Amino acid sequence: MIEFQNVTFTYQSTERESGVYHLNMTIPDGQVILLCGESGCGKTTITRLINGLTPEYYEGKLDGTVTVNGNDTQKTPLYELSKTVGSVFQNPRSQFFNVDTTGEIAFGCENIGLPKEEIYRRIGQVTGELKIQKLLDRSLFALSGGEKQKIACASVSAMEPDIFVLDEPSSNLDVATIADLKQVVAKWKAMGKTVIIAEHRLYYLMDIADRVIYLKNGKIEKDLPVSDFGQLDSTQLHAMGLRSLHPADFKNIPMVSAGKDLIEIRDFLFSYGKVEAMNIPILSVPQGAIVGILGDNGAGKTTFAKCLCGLEKKAKGTLNTSHESLGTKQRLKRSYMVMQDVNHQLFTESVSDEILLGMPGEDAQGDKKKSDEILDSLNLLEYKELHPMSLSGGQKQRVAIGSAVASDKEFLVFDEPTSGLDYHHMLEVADNLRRLSEMGKTLFIITHDPELIAKCCNYFIFIEHGKIAWSGGWTSENKRRITDFFSFAI
């Protein structure tokens, strides 16, 4: 079905060396392939070579031949390739064409000229398979990141292509939805479809994938049957920069005191129109804690974070410290938020300038030194002169985290800070979060990443339908609750 013959591709950019080198591989019909490796290793480039976006859209120099179903991708128009290859991108927003969910799912089917009755049948089928009936007829702008990812998967699945290419499909999904995604991939496999998945989360694919291709510096380092890959222990995987096949077990985490001074969140209320989105009469968290905000996709975690930062002007409520009460405007000045889609908050021409942007600017030399230290701690120093938008998704994420570190704000909110990050970079983020906590900052981390939670969080808020279901530290009861929540992953 897919063949790479001595393929080398380098992006047409003087800013950054990237791409893949001397790739030779054959992917037969019906195989499920897991592409893995550290951030920036070439996984996304391979997916772009298969679906024809490289070099047609992402320009660069391509040597060698990529053939899909016997067709040379360089000589086949994108509209022809799209009938064979369906793609789900790392950022689902980049592939949306409509403003409503149902129209988005139907869009690809309409483009290939299917009859109306068949389009309705396919919409019903894929929404049932992905369990997203509640997302139909909704505004795409009102969805959470995970819900957008589900719509992207549904819109591609409805076209019923022979090949599915997925780039980090689980990066913004909760564990229950990852289980749904796993079932969908298994169904595609049973139908004889060819599936290529670039992923950092490995565990959910171990009993579906046929083969694992591990990439390093743009080259194929290992090409193993999944049975052989499954024999690697956590130490070996971590040395390769890969996530564990058995995500964190929380039983052995000590009950650490998160501090005595409390921050009180009182009378937080917010509605989208007439629909109540958040109702929190009172909530206390320790000052200086690393607070994990947990809950399913669409539970209200990001809404809570925006209200906390003062980004939702119509939100009611106050945040009270031991010596003052902060309304919406005061919280806006004292808070910093790293968004789920970091493309919204990268503004400058270089990575270095991005970090400097949030600093006071009174001591240019001191700021520059501090900026370099922050970039070094996030393994970004070598990219300091590059344009932030030229980086990989994981690297952009770390730039935004660096900006939060540089801002020196009191309350820091991170929305999925390890989305799309490999094991080593997840550890670096966890280390930076702990350091910020030690400096007296209070951190709120929205995450579906059990490994990050085990490494740095010491207090938790669990949100359901815009309300607090429970909160607290690493008590035995809360360990059980968190273990149950991540039970799909453990």
Which has more confidence, 104 or 40? 104
Same domain? For 293 and 153 the reply is no
Position 15 scores a pLDDT of: 45
Q: How many helices (H) and strands (E) does the chain have?
A: 17, 20
Reply yes or no on whether the pLDDT at 387 is more than 80.
yes
CB count in 10 Å sphere of residue 304: 29
Position 133 scores a pLDDT of: 92
Position 129 scores a pLDDT of: 82
Position 11 scores a pLDDT of: 87
Joined together, the tokens standing for residue 358 give 């949030």
Same domain? For 143 and 224 the reply is yes
The tens digit of pLDDT for each residue in 205-224 reads 999 999 999 999 999 999 99
DSSP character string of 165-210: EEESTTTT--HHHHHHHHHHHHHHHHTT-EEEEE-S--GGGTTT-S
In a domain, residue 222? The reply is yes
Number of domains the chain contains: 2
Contacts of 382 (CB under 8 A, 6+ apart): none
Of 141, 166, 144, nearest to 155 by C-alpha is 166
In a domain, residue 252? The reply is no
Question: Considering 239, 274, 292, which residue would you say is the last residue of a domain?
Answer: 239
252-257 CB contacts, 8 Å cutoff, 24+ apart:
253/454, 253/474, 253/479, 254/474, 255/473, 255/474, 255/475, 256/458, 256/473, 256/474, 257/473
Q: HSE on the CB side for 63, CA within 13 Å?
A: 8
Please, what's the b/e burial string for 365-380 (b: 16 or more CB within 10 A of its CB; e: otherwise)? eebeebbeebbebbeb
3-state secondary structure of 235: helix
DSSP character string of 386-451: S-GGGS-HHHHHHHHHHHHHHH--SEEEEESTTTT--HHHHHHHHHHHHHHHHTT-EEEEE---HH
Which range of residues forms the domain containing residue 411? 262-485
* Cross-strand pairs, 10: 61
Among positive and negative, which fits the CA dihedral 98, 104, 107, 108?
positive
Same domain? For 426 and 377 the reply is yes
In a domain, residue 248? The reply is no
Rounded-to-integer distance, Cα 114 and Cα 485, Å: 41
Rounded-to-integer distance, Cα 487 and Cα 411, Å: 31
Sorting pLDDT into bands at 50, 70 and 90, what band is 488?
low
In a domain, residue 245? The reply is no
In terms of Cβ atoms closer than 10 Å to its own Cβ (0-12, 13-18, 19+), residue 257 is: exposed
Same domain? For 58 and 202 the reply is yes
Same domain? For 235 and 322 the reply is no
Contacts of 68 (CB under 8 A, 6+ apart): 1, 2, 50, 52, 76, 81, 84, 85, 163
In a domain, residue 247? The reply is no
Reply yes or no on whether the pLDDT at 489 is more than 70.
no
Contacts of 341 (CB under 8 A, 6+ apart): 91, 93, 145
Joined together, the tokens standing for residue 207 give 């009993």
* Cross-strand pairs, 320: 264, 325
Cβ proximity of 449 and 455 under 8 Å: no
In a domain, residue 77? The reply is yes
Rounded-to-integer distance, Cα 454 and Cα 234, Å: 15
Contacts of 233 (CB under 8 A, 6+ apart): none
CATH number of the domain that residue 211 is part of? 3.40.50.300
Same domain? For 27 and 129 the reply is yes
3-state secondary structure of 164: strand
Joined together, the tokens standing for residue 398 give 């770390």
Same domain? For 131 and 279 the reply is no
Sorting pLDDT into bands at 50, 70 and 90, what band is 257?
low
Same domain? For 353 and 466 the reply is yes
Same domain? For 17 and 155 the reply is yes
The tens digit of pLDDT for each residue in 284-309 reads 999 999 999 999 888 999 899 999 99
Same domain? For 175 and 235 the reply is yes
Reply yes or no on whether the pLDDT at 254 is more than 80.
no
Sorting pLDDT into bands at 50, 70 and 90, what band is 107?
very high
The tens digit of pLDDT for each residue in 20-66 reads 999 999 999 999 999 999 988 899 999 999 999 988 888 899 999 99
- In one-letter notation, the amino acid at residue 199 is E
The tens digit of pLDDT for each residue in 331-383 reads 999 999 988 778 888 999 999 999 999 887 788 889 999 999 999 988 899 99
* Global pTM value: 0.83
In a domain, residue 30? The reply is yes
Contacts of 433 (CB under 8 A, 6+ apart): 290, 414, 417, 443, 445, 456
Joined together, the tokens standing for residue 123 give 């919409």
The tens digit of pLDDT for each residue in 124-167 reads 999 988 889 999 999 998 887 778 888 998 999 999 999 999 99
Across 176-181, average pLDDT: 82
Reply yes or no on whether the pLDDT at 253 is more than 70.
yes
The tens digit of pLDDT for each residue in 415-442 reads 888 887 899 989 988 888 888 888 889 9
Reply yes or no on whether the pLDDT at 16 is more than 90.
no
In a domain, residue 255? The reply is no
- In one-letter notation, the amino acid at residue 436 is L
**Per-residue CA distances from 274 to 240, 261, 271 (Å):** 50, 36, 6
Position 490 scores a pLDDT of: 45
Question: Considering 208, 239, 270, which residue would you say is the last residue of a domain?
Answer: 239
Same domain? For 32 and 162 the reply is yes
Position 335 scores a pLDDT of: 93
Rounded-to-integer distance, Cα 449 and Cα 280, Å: 25
Position 172 scores a pLDDT of: 75
Same domain? For 136 and 210 the reply is yes
3-state secondary structure of 15: coil
Chain mean pLDDT for the chain? 89
